[in-house]
Structures are given as C-alpha cells and as structure tokens.
Amino acid sequence: MGSFDFVTIFFLVAAVVIFLQLRNVLGRRTGNEKPPFDPYSRRENSDGVPGPDRGKVVTLPRRDGADGEEGAYAGVDAFTPAGTPLNDSLRRVVDADPSFNPKEFVNGAKMAYEMIVVAFADGDRKTLKNLLSREVYEGFDGAISEREGKGEVVKSNFVGIEKADIVSAEVKDNEINITLRIISQLISATYDKAGGLIDGDAETVAEVNDLWTFARDSRSRDPNWKLIATESEG
C-alpha cells in the first residue's frame, strides 16, 4: 500500500464492506444508524473475507502548494469542471483544508474501502475502532457479535473497485464531509457452523454499490478521517 501524505484519510487498516442504511446521510451522525449489512451477500449481517495485514496508517499525498486563489483550486478544477456545484463545494473544502486534493482523496478512499472490508471480515474490532465514527463502529461491532454468536463463516474474495466518485462535499461547523459512490466486485459464500452453505456463491462475482461518507474536523491537527455513514444503492 505504501505511505502517502495528504490527510491520513483514517484509511488505516484492513476492511470490510457494509451498508448502514441511512437516509440523507451526507455525513450526518444521527445516532439511529442501522447495523451494517454484509456487502458480500444478499442478506443482512453476513461477513467478509480475511485479508492480508495492512499497515496501521495509510497517509495520502499532500497537494503541492500553489500561490494565488486559482492556483489553490487547481486540483479541484482538474477533477471537475469549474462552475459546477461539485466544483464549488470542493473549493469550500480546500478553503477549510488547503492540503485537500480530490483525486488523491479518491485514491485513498478506494484503499480504505478495501481495508475496512477486510477488517470487518476478520472481526478486527481494534482496527475498525480507529477507522469509524462511534456510531458506525457500534453497528459494525453488533454485526460481528451476531455473526460470532451464530457461528457463521464467510469465505470471500475482494475482486476490486470498478469505480469510485465523489458525489458531494460540504463543510459545516468546521467539519468536512465527503460522500463517494463506490462500485466494487466481490465473491462471497456464507456457511453455518456445520459447514453448510446458507448464502452466496463461491464462484460468482457480485457487484456492490455503496455510498460512503467520510469526515474530519478541519480545525484538528489530527489528519485522520472517519467513516461516519454508509448506504447501499442496491
């Protein structure tokens, strides 16, 4: 994975795909989030596949400094056309955090997505606690506990991310929220404690469509981002 330098998008470790079906997410932590859904199967509360150990922190590259207002927004303008709503909102993010570069952010988010998928699959609560907001972590923890209680095992393979795009960004009360649409491909089969197949297919690649929202306090010296909400798009 290597080490980068932008804003350690909390993209710290292994990971697992889950859907915390929320409405009007865009970074709102309502405290009413539902437990995460297993992205690897068509039913709720499955799990993922163990993955290789990851480093504890993945730092993203910082954008090169540029003089002048337009220079400061060069990364944003290269990412999405000037004058569009997304460009305007990303410029506000740059105002709050001059180190922000959307292209680098997306690259880091793609890494984080896979990492979180692996951590959830492994039941690695310590790792997840560092990556997730308190509310999201509680949902993940509950799903892991339910899985463990049933003795279920998921054998999965994270094939890759087909597409990842920023769909919205905002700065509110000094907190930066960025939501991405991520389309990934996974192979997964869930087995009960007796070893019987109860869901999924070990040979079939499934497409997963998610909206993930990350946040960080622009005033904080901590560069890490937290996953504060996820939503399934089917």
Give the pLDDT score at 128. 92
What pLDDT, in 10s, does the model give residues 57-84? 444 444 444 445 668 899 999 999 999 9
pLDDT band at 232 (very low <50, low <70, confident <90, very high): confident
What pLDDT, in 10s, does the model give residues 189-213? 888 999 999 988 889 999 999 999 9
Query: How remote is the C-alpha of 206 from its chain's centroid?
Result: 18
Closest by CA to 186, choosing from 67, 14, 41, is 41
pLDDT band at 95 (very low <50, low <70, confident <90, very high): very high
The b/e string for 74-104 (b: 16+ C-beta within 10 A; e otherwise) is ebbeebbeeeeebbebbbebbebbeebbbeb
The domain spans of the chain are 69-232
Give yes or no for a contact between 205 and 194, defined as CB atoms under 8 angstroms apart.
no
- What does the alpha-carbon distance between residue 232 and residue 212 come to, in Å, rounded to a whole number? 9
What pLDDT, in 10s, does the model give residues 111-161? 988 889 888 878 889 989 988 999 999 999 999 999 899 999 888 788 999
User: CATH number for the 69-232 domain, one of 3.10.450.240, 2.30.30.50, 2.60.40.2130, 1.20.140.10?
Assistant: 3.10.450.240
pTM > 0.75: yes or no: no
- What does the alpha-carbon distance between residue 170 and residue 177 come to, in Å, rounded to a whole number? 5
Give the pLDDT score at 25. 33
Which residues, in sequence order, are bridge partners of residue 160? 185
